[in-house]
Amino acid sequence: MAKTKPIAAHSLESELAGLTTTRDNLQARQTASAAELEQAVAARRELLIQGSDAAAIAEAERTCREVEGTAAGIADALAEVERRIGITEDKIEDARIAGEREAAAATLERDGTAIDAAAERVRQAVAALAAAQAALAGAITVTSTPHFGKYDFGGRRSGEAPEVVAAYLTGHMIATMLPGLDVSEVMRKIAAGGWTDRRLIEPTEHELPAKALLTDPMREAAAQVRAGEASPDLPRFHRPEPDFTPQIEEVQVYVLQPFRYGTGEGRMPAIVTRVIDRVPVPVAERAIAAGLASDVEPRNLTDLHARRPAAVTGVNVFAFPDLGFDLADWKAEQVARRRAEWLAEQDRQAA
């Protein structure tokens, strides 16, 4: 079904003007009819009082009825016009409200479109800034980082990682170029223990900090090294070693035969005897490979429960089959491997 087109406001105004003119004309005719009726009634009254001319009285009666009929017709038409005027005025008011709503909605849609376009440009600029920030962090090597250790600028700290230096420099540039934004360093946990305080990054006037705060001191140091006034053995930034200890998850297994595994030199081995138990993942992998456990429910599960007591007491732990695996040695190997990989990565970054 096609939508009903809204009536234009100017057509409603024209219709209302026509109805108002018609009402004025009818009111004028109603006034004239009232006067005519008053005269006809007076004439009929006088003839009735005299009572001498029956034909004249009859004519006066007919005249009164005609005038009264005309007056009733005018009154009826006038009432209908008033009704139509009310309907038209309601339509005009509805059209006015609809127009105001449409104008307000159009304003919001227009503003939304403009904001979307402007925000997209900001998003693209921020995306480009993020890429530039990553490039800046990559350009600040472990040999350039120590030159950020001067305290002649508010909020600066020595011994920070390259990415922290890059974040500070970027924040300073933003604070300088966009002074309406409050830019601050976040509260961060430091390697030596404790936390850094949240500090506002203050802008500077007519200065971008990358060169004045970082690269100028580096160029001065380079000139001193070249002139023999400073050692060529440049200081480096050394990241504190993280905790390389692996987090070992446990997994459920079905123990087909009780077994034991090592827990470290000089310590008693761990024994696994319950039919359904949870063990460290590397233990489970080796027990399954050795045929001592299963990661799927065995067909003889009921028999295993019947033959094996819930607790094993009075049995020498060394009587159980040895898995040939020491969990403590495995942890040490994982720590050594992870540390070696981490140190190699640090050497590559320092190269």
Is 84 contained in some domain? yes
Burial class for 42, CB neighbours closer than 10 Å (0-12, 13-18, 19+) = exposed
Is 56 contained in some domain? yes
SS3 188: coil
Is 137 contained in some domain? no
Name the phi and psi angles at 262, rounded to 5. Answer: -75, 150
Please say which residue of 82, 107, 122 terminates a domain: 122
Residue 124's pLDDT is 95
Residue 193's pLDDT is 62
Residues 13 and 118 placed together within one structural domain of the fold: yes
Residues 219 and 303 placed together within one structural domain of the fold: no
Q: How many domains does the chain have?
A: 3
Distance (Å, whole) CA 245 – CA 240: 15
- CA gyration radius for the chain? 50
Is 139 contained in some domain? no
Distance (Å, whole) CA 175 – CA 257: 68
SS3 248: coil
Residues 112 and 149 placed together within one structural domain of the fold: no
Residues 202 and 270 placed together within one structural domain of the fold: no
- The per-residue pLDDT string of the chain (351 residues; one tens digit each, 9 = 90 and over) reads 444 455 566 788 888 888 888 888 888 888 888 888 888 888 888 888 887 788 888 888 888 888 888 888 888 888 888 899 888 888 888 888 888 888 888 888 898 889 889 999 999 999 999 999 999 988 888 888 777 655 444 444 566 788 888 888 888 888 888 878 888 877 766 655 666 667 777 777 655 555 566 677 778 888 888 888 888 888 777 788 888 999 999 999 999 999 999 998 888 899 998 899 999 999 999 999 999 999 999 988 888 888 887 666 667 778 888 999 999 999 999 999 999 998 888 777 666
Sign of the Cα torsion 308, 310, 315, 318 reads positive
Residues 43 and 106 placed together within one structural domain of the fold: yes
SS3 of 5-26: the string is CCCCHHHHHHHHHHHHHHHHHH
Residue 213's pLDDT is 61
Residues 255 and 305 placed together within one structural domain of the fold: yes
Determine the structural domain holding residue 201 and report its residue range. Answer: 145-226
Residues 259 and 294 placed together within one structural domain of the fold: yes
Residues 293 and 219 placed together within one structural domain of the fold: no
Distance (Å, whole) CA 148 – CA 235: 12
Residue 145 DSSP code: G
Is 237 contained in some domain? no
Is 337 contained in some domain? yes
Cα-Cα end-to-end distance for the chain: 75
Residues 113 and 200 placed together within one structural domain of the fold: no
Residues 258 and 334 placed together within one structural domain of the fold: yes
Judge whether 175 and 202 are in contact, CB under 8 Å: yes
Residues 40 and 104 placed together within one structural domain of the fold: yes
